Structure 1
Amino acid sequence: MAQVETGKESRQGEKGKPVLYVLVAAVILAIVAGAGVLTWQGSVSPNDHGSQSTEAARSTATNPTQAPAEKKQN
């Protein structure tokens, strides 16, 4: 004979450790994916010369010994 359940019981999902395992695995995978994206993005992004010292910024300039020429206005 079939088991008789109430409406609430028939709509409930399974409880227990398998659900917890899926949740923990999903969180761990999200953390690993996030760390991978941040690592990859850091390796392919251009250098940030603005946060370095003035001397480091001057060493990357095209002509660090002269100030930029000002444009004449007509």
Structure 2
Amino acid sequence: MSDHADNADSKIYQTISAGVAAARSAPALQADFRCHFCEEEVQLELLFCNSDCRDDYERLNQAIRRNGN
């Protein structure tokens, strides 16, 4: 017989699995010689020109996800 703890463990496992699957299926940024936030030219393998642009990009995307867009 399962008890409340077993049911809770199952629900937690399902939630974590769904989150991991969503993270793995999210499209990854590709390096293309430009900053993904400000469009400034960058070296081949960089995604952002500096940490400020990276942080601003992440904040903007988090806000978009929170607002459901």
Q: TM-score range, shorter-chain basis?
A: 0.3 to 0.5
Tell me the TM-score normalized by structure 2.
0.42
Q: Which has the higher contact order (CA 8 A, sep 6+)?
A: 2
Which one has a bigger Cα radius of gyration? 1
